[in-house]
Structure 1
Amino acid sequence: MRLSLATKVLIILAFGLQLNAQNDSISQNIKTLKVPFLFDEERQYFGAMSLTYQSPMPYGNNFIGEEYEGKGGYNFKFQVYVFKNFFVGFSYGFSYFDTKNTQLLGNYTESSVEEISGVLGYEFVPLPKVRLGINTSIFGNATLSNSIPLGYGNRDFGKQRNFGVNLEYEFIEKLNVFVEYNWRTIKSEINVPEELSSFFDKGTYKTLNIGLKFNFGNGDFVDKVEF
């Protein structure tokens, strides 16, 4: 049986529309199942600010690891997303300690570390509303303030390095609750006798941070700048 030209055209059109509908359905299913990991345009921000409580935990065979006991502290961080979720930022905070051996450290019962550093990092988005980040310091300074109950004390200085990982959850739009774990090393400038130099040459401690992070703006820095 011969088909007219019009009938043939209608069959071809119907077949094409069916294929297109199937392709749209497949594409929609892929979009639904796909979970972005490196970045998500719908959750791309320009910057963020965070405030955390931090718990310092000394470790290692050095003057902080052996002779300090962590008490508490806080940290403030500001960051700008340069490209996608790659960011640069600034971190400022304090960690507070009790000292355990006054014979070795002097008659100081308390110590604090003022922590200032630049930050470089990236945040992954493995699940909706979830961020997993890594960061490191690109420069860092530490000021150790030692004191006794009457208030007299002294200060020591050093260079600080930091590496951290964090996990965030966006419980309301642009506001995240998060935890962060850091490894911190202070290359100290403390003057001590030669036999104690290796013990006081550096200090190491970890911090567990819990806090809130506020995201602001839309689009990264590269998107905002016209070249």
Structure 2
Amino acid sequence: MASTTNTSTRDIAFQGLWKNNPALVQLLGLCPLLGVSSSVVNALGLGLATIAVLTSSNLLVSLFRHQVPDTIRLPVFVMIIAALTSCVELIMQAYTYELYKILGIFIPLIVTNCIILGRADAFASRNAPLPAVLDGLMMGAGFAAVLLLLGALRELIGQGTLFANMHFLLGPVAENWQITVIADYKKFLFAILPPGAFVFMGLLIALKNIADNRLEKARKAHQESTSGSKRVRVTG
């Protein structure tokens, strides 16, 4: 088994939430991302389920990393992920049944989500439990954040509302959370259907690339100005 690597908490968080975001950079888990992101409640439900499975699977893989031979590493990881996904599915079926019916096949398909197996193999199996849990939490949060943003955009443009049916996930306390942004809105079907998901996802990826390019230019400009100031002080 590979030796444990030392990665700072800040770097793990930055990798999961922005630099190596599983949805915007790695482009993993696109099937559930595009399939259920038609509303905020759907996105939040799947996002929380993914975070729970990703974090707990990273923890278990890290704890047993020295006991699992390389020859059966991946099958063991899949079994761990499948068991945890079944637990999450049963919990949702028991406490959020309406949302469970809406999400349908995408809950058990968490088992095949490349993000979860990828992090188990690439990070959790090579690191101590605490960094592994943090990596799972940050990667899951990065994926869930994109899910929520996509769900909010599609719900707003497609239906003119936000936070509709939140009681499916949070219970009676959220029955009145719906915000009607545009009254008497005639639904924009394209935003709700899968083609709209692809378009909005492409826009989010483009915006991230633009932001990264501007940040990189600002960083280089700062480095040049700093090195120029140092040269002036030396020659002076």
TM-score normalized by structure 1? 0.20
Considering fraction of residues, name the structure with more strand. Answer: 1
Q: Which is bigger in relative contact order (C-alpha 8 A, separation at least 6)?
A: 2
Considering fraction of residues, name the structure with more helix. Answer: 2
